[in-house]
Amino acid sequence: MNNPQSSLPHVVIVGGGFGGLYAAKSLRNSPVKVTLIDKRNFHLFQPLLYQVATGSLSPADIASPLRVVLSKQKNAQVLLDKVVDIDSAAKKLIVQDGEDVNYDMLIIATGGSHHYFGNDQWQEDAPGLKTVEDALEMRRRIFTAFEAAEKEPDLAKRQALLTFVVVGGGPTGVELAGAIAEIAHKTVVEDFRDVDTTKAKVLLFEGMDRILPPYPETLSAKAQESLEKLGVEIKTKTLVTDISNQTVTFREGDKADTISANTILWAAGVKASFIGRVLNKTTGAELDRAGRVIVEPDLSIKGHPDIFVVGDLANFPHQGERPLPGVAPVAMQEGEYVAKLITKKLQGKTIKPFHYFDLGSMAVVGQNKAVADLGFAKMSGFFAWFIWVVAHIYYLIEFDNKLVVMIQWAWNYITLGRGARLITGKTALYAKTEVPNEAKENKVDKLQERELVKS
Amino acid sequence: MNNPQSSLPHVVIVGGGFGGLYAAKSLRNSPVKVTLIDKRNFHLFQPLLYQVATGSLSPADIASPLRVVLSKQKNAQVLLDKVVDIDSAAKKLIVQDGEDVNYDMLIIATGGSHHYFGNDQWQEDAPGLKTVEDALEMRRRIFTAFEAAEKEPDLAKRQALLTFVVVGGGPTGVELAGAIAEIAHKTVVEDFRDVDTTKAKVLLFEGMDRILPPYPETLSAKAQESLEKLGVEIKTKTLVTDISNQTVTFREGDKADTISANTILWAAGVKASFIGRVLNKTTGAELDRAGRVIVEPDLSIKGHPDIFVVGDLANFPHQGERPLPGVAPVAMQEGEYVAKLITKKLQGKTIKPFHYFDLGSMAVVGQNKAVADLGFAKMSGFFAWFIWVVAHIYYLIEFDNKLVVMIQWAWNYITLGRGARLITGKTALYAKTEVPNEAKENKVDKLQERELVKS
């Protein structure tokens, strides 16, 4: 690469999510050459992905091309490729399509994907929500269900078509369930002639004794109240034991039961990226049970002060009882910290261990309600939602002026509309789907896994 | 269907494009029951599809859910299904998923798809632009080409990656070529570090002696001048004789030649929907060479005054030397005419034969230039573009308030940005593609074709 700065230390960042991108941006004034590698050409604003899945926003509304974000940052370049292996002794990365990439310092920020806890066969029936393709597949299933119900003369089948099960009562599950209930009971009511969409059932399953388990109890209760008002039926202490043939088998407390549901959405588990296992192989880095890399207080890997892990792939156990949660603010702060550490290190200085400054947690429940725990204050209802909107707009426009999203939101808010409810990507109207991208990707992961085991 | 209006005459419309949707809307005050059948759940504003293919707009920006468009029209209902056969003796339609649909009057508005003139094997190398999926596939190929060029050390291969061939010099081909030249020579220039995107070649092939052949010669010349300023190389009197292995073989006048191009886009031919052949079988309707149905002066089929064909599937030869062109204004006016005819007929009245009122033709050449032939005036440049914008916004917001599109356009205009340049839908970064939806659909068409032949 004919880069005039090639004599500078080369910082390679893998993954253009919140962790990787904040690291890259924070290195803008440092005397380094930065290469950001991602297999996608855009940064995805994942906290809003559920709005794509439920037809409020388009993928481009919440995605910023990485090259545009880093266009003006002259010490940075973007490489569209997939890292398949790391050689920490030779300090280089092996990528899928191009030549090997040498690094002086490495920041790994590859996050994670869905976790079916050993039941990967559930994926076809119950897709998760991590990628743009996942969101479009969810959108296709949700809106196709109403179309199929409109034509279905058999009452039991019609009810199954109008039954939506969301597995997992964390923020994503809560936001999905609330949005689907609103679609069924408000948005599309006037659009169908033969089917009464207000009869749709939306169920939210959670294994713990309340939804939003990491939140304060009062907020869990508020969220539950809001969701129930929207018509969501919440089942806590409920574990899914099987998903097949559009039927969910579950255990609610001691009671086993089944429900027929055409649309089953998975928001329950997150699995660390396979790069965790690559790091384990090449550096001996310790992994936790979810496959996350247990990092040092400065986010480096033990014995490898030139390799850092940030974001959802990192298990940072040095603060509080549990590792830091896999949320955007943690990833951002970790990315910024590592950039600062590298900059100081090049000046021969050291900095204090990483400390996460908790800005709080929020989740939307319905069109204009949310729950928010800001540490100093807990709130719910419209005001919490307003804070949610302001915070999300602030971060959304940081990389890329997504002015249009605000206008789209304002418009949706006024009209209760969902202009992006297109059913795309499949010819068959409601054929069972293969979730082609994820499936392929998992195949790649499995192959790599096998290779790792072999090597 | 428990419809209180079921004793009213039942008008069934097949296809929710401009022809079908204008027919449905125009029947809103008529004493009929209207059923609109489409295999997609949205109306697509096709004149702007090239802007999705080139990353300016998102699919939802130019698509309106049919149910939303007809939500308030109480005498209309929407059915998401695919018509596979017509029984004109029993006056019913056979659909793919649901029960047969009986009709009293039938309006067919199913349009057409790409035509490779007997070379369907070219489709994989040179996708066309008819559906949302087509546009996303084009977008993926265009933006992936730059990514691949950035990594390609071999100069010849790099040049092939930076070569874009658009086949067909009609409005779609002109608009695509202009947009791609702008992307390469302006939008992405600052975003790449190793590749000089201004070296990209954009070629536009046209078989006739000038681009935009149906337009006045002065406008063809103006369009050519504007495109050449943007860096498009135009080859007229040029016929493609083969497309394979990312190589286009062509004959320019008497000279045969080839060019290596990673991205080849097809904008050359339109084939009538297979419903034309279904009509031919069931009613004996005469088809032209392109498969379009030759209609009577009132747009009905000879001997079948209860069946009408409107839009791109209709060949209306009663006005001028050639049949009316396959453009949105023709379809709209035909749809409105048939609705009016049906309304009058129910009152025992007749109306005059259909007459197309030509509002003119327009094509965009670049960010803020267009050519327009309004009959009474021919114009080009910024003013023509301004008229184009106003006309398109007028029609775009007719069904659905696409306020956001205007703001997106204004924003793109100011920033020269293309916020929707996401590479989606494929895991492999630049694997050769299967164009899965269209391919499948063509298979269905072929199957149906065979069945028709058999029966």
A432, pLDDT greater than 60: no
Chain A hits for B79, CB-CB cut-off 8 Å, are 150-151
Residue boundaries of the structural domains of chain A: 10-39+81-114+271-346, 120-268+361-440
State residue B214's pLDDT score.
85
State residue A83's pLDDT score.
97
Chain A hits for B425, CB-CB cut-off 8 Å, are 133, 425, 437
Chain A hits for B424, CB-CB cut-off 8 Å, are 59, 132-133
State residue A435's pLDDT score.
33
A324: DSSP letter: P
Do A10-39+81-114+271-346 and A120-268+361-440 agree at the fold level? Answer: yes
| Mean pLDDT, all residues of chain A | 88
State residue A451's pLDDT score.
37
B187: DSSP letter: I
Cross-chain residue pair B192–A67, CB shorter than 8 Å: yes
Supply the ipTM of this predicted assembly: 0.83
Residues 6+ apart with CB under 8 A from B70: B24, B25, B36, B76, B77, B78
State residue B417's pLDDT score.
66
Q: How far is A190 from chain B (nearest CA, A)?
A: 6
- Mutation target to probe the B interface, by most B beta carbons within 10 A, among A193, A196, A401, A438 is A193
Please tell me whether residue A49 adopts helix, strand or coil conformation. helix
State residue B396's pLDDT score.
78
- Cβ of B227: how many Cβ atoms within 10 Å? 23
Q: How would residue A242 be classed by pLDDT, with cut points 50, 70 and 90?
A: very high
Closest to A167 measured CA to CA, from A224, A111, A115 = A115
State residue A211's pLDDT score.
96
Q: How far is A313 from chain B (nearest CA, A)?
A: 21
Distance of CA A406 to the CA centre of its chain: 21
| Model pLDDT for residues A3-47, shown as the tens digit of each residue | 444 689 999 999 999 999 999 999 999 999 999 999 999 999 999
Closest to A116 measured CA to CA, from A126, A107, A106, A108 = A126
Q: How far is B51 from chain A (nearest CA, A)?
A: 13
| Mean pLDDT, all residues of chain B | 88
State residue A3's pLDDT score.
47
Please tell me whether residue A99 adopts helix, strand or coil conformation. coil
Which has the higher per-residue pLDDT, A434 or A76? A76
Which has the higher per-residue pLDDT, B195 or A443? B195
Active-site positions of B? 175
Q: pTM for the whole thing? A: 0.87
Q: Is B59 in CB contact (< 8 Å) with chain A?
A: yes
Closest CB from A40, A421, A427 relative to B65: A421
Q: Is A45 in CB contact (< 8 Å) with chain B?
A: no
The CA distance from A373 to A361, in Å, is 5
DSSP B66-123: HHHHTTT-TTEEEEE--EEEEETTTTEEEESSS--EE-SEEEE---EEE--TT-GGGT
The architecture (CATH level 2) of B10-39+81-114+271-346 comes to: 3-Layer(bba) Sandwich (3.50)
Q: Is B198 in CB contact (< 8 Å) with chain A?
A: no
Question: Tokens representing A6?
Answer: 């090639």
| Model pLDDT for residues B280-290, shown as the tens digit of each residue | 999 999 999 99
- The average pLDDT across A192-200 equals 94
Q: Is B188 in CB contact (< 8 Å) with chain A?
A: yes
Contact predicate A149/A158, CB 8 Å: yes
- Give percent above pLDDT 70 in chain B: 88
Chain B hits for A42, CB-CB cut-off 8 Å, are 422-423
- The label of the residue with tokens 């009122």 reads B357
Question: Tokens representing A442?
Answer: 């998992």
Cross-chain residue pair A422–B42, CB shorter than 8 Å: yes
For Cα atoms B97, B17, B342, give the angle at the middle one, nearest 5 degrees: 90
Question: Tokens representing A116?
Answer: 């079916």
Please tell me whether residue B439 adopts helix, strand or coil conformation. helix
State residue B401's pLDDT score.
61
State residue A366's pLDDT score.
79
A428, pLDDT greater than 60: no
Chain A hits for B401, CB-CB cut-off 8 Å, are 411, 415
The CA distance from A66 to A89, in Å, is 29
Q: How far is A408 from chain B (nearest CA, A)?
A: 6
Catalytic: which of A175, A182, A206, A334? A175
Question: Tokens representing B108?
Answer: 């067919």
- Chain A stretch 417-436, residues whose beta carbon is closer than 8 A to a beta carbon of chain B: 417, 419-427, 429-430
The CATH fold of domain B120-268+361-440: FAD/NAD(P)-binding domain (3.50.50)
- Type of residue numbered A91: K
Give chain B's end-to-end CA distance (angstroms, integer).
31
State residue A40's pLDDT score.
94
Q: How would residue B442 be classed by pLDDT, with cut points 50, 70 and 90?
A: very low
State residue A61's pLDDT score.
84
Cross-chain residue pair B423–A42, CB shorter than 8 Å: yes
Closest CB from A64, A98, A427 relative to B440: A427
> CB-hemisphere CA count at 13 Å for B300?
13
DSSP B359-418: --EEEE-STT-EEEE-SS-EEEEHHHHHHHHHHHHHHHHHHS--HHHHHHHHHHHHH---
Cross-chain residue pair A427–B417, CB shorter than 8 Å: no
- The average pLDDT across B300-316 equals 97
Q: How far is B396 from chain A (nearest CA, A)?
A: 13
Determine which of A149-163, A367-381, A418-432, B361-375 has the lowest per-residue pLDDT on average. A418-432
DSSP A327-372: -HHHHHHHHHHHHHHHHHHHTT---PPP------EEEE-STT-EEE
State residue A6's pLDDT score.
60
Cross-chain residue pair B426–A437, CB shorter than 8 Å: yes
State residue A419's pLDDT score.
66
- The average pLDDT across A57-62 equals 87
State residue A117's pLDDT score.
87
| Model pLDDT for residues B203-232, shown as the tens digit of each residue | 999 999 999 998 899 999 999 999 999 999
Contact predicate B358/B332, CB 8 Å: no
A115, pLDDT greater than 50: yes
DSSP A167-183: E--SHHHHHHHHHHHHI
Determine which of A243-252, A314-323, B10-19, B387-396 has the lowest per-residue pLDDT on average. B387-396
Chain B hits for A430, CB-CB cut-off 8 Å, are 97
- Mutation target to probe the A interface, by most A beta carbons within 10 A, among B151, B399, B435, B438 is B151
Chain A residue whose CA is closest to B442 = A427
B418, pLDDT greater than 90: no
Residues 6+ apart with CB under 8 A from B90: B102
- Cβ of A439: how many Cβ atoms within 10 Å? 14
Q: Is A67 in CB contact (< 8 Å) with chain B?
A: yes
H-only helix segments in A231-265: none
Q: How would residue A417 be classed by pLDDT, with cut points 50, 70 and 90?
A: low
List for chain A the helix, strand, coil content (%; round to 5).
40, 25, 40
**Cβ pairs bridging A and B (under 8 Å):** 162
Largest CA distance in chain B: 75
> What are the angstrom distances between the C-alpha of A377 and each of A218, A360, A366, A371, B51?
12, 9, 21, 11, 46
A449, pLDDT greater than 70: no
- Chain B stretch 137-156, residues whose beta carbon is closer than 8 A to a beta carbon of chain A: 143-144, 147-148, 150-151, 153
Residues 6+ apart with CB under 8 A from A233: A201, A202, A203, A204
State residue B423's pLDDT score.
79
Cross-chain residue pair A2–B194, CB shorter than 8 Å: yes
B293-294 vs B300-301, strand pairing mode = unpaired
- The average pLDDT across A46-62 equals 90
Cross-chain residue pair B60–A419, CB shorter than 8 Å: yes
List for chain B the helix, strand, coil content (%; round to 5).
40, 25, 40
Q: How would residue A400 be classed by pLDDT, with cut points 50, 70 and 90?
A: low
- The average pLDDT across A371-397 equals 86
Cross-chain residue pair A193–B424, CB shorter than 8 Å: no
A280, pLDDT greater than 50: yes
State residue A439's pLDDT score.
35
Q: How would residue B438 be classed by pLDDT, with cut points 50, 70 and 90?
A: very low
- The average pLDDT across B182-206 equals 94
B361-364 vs B370-373, strand pairing mode = antiparallel
Question: Which helix (H) or strand (E) element contains residue A240?
Answer: strand A238-244
Chain A hits for B194, CB-CB cut-off 8 Å, are 1-2, 77
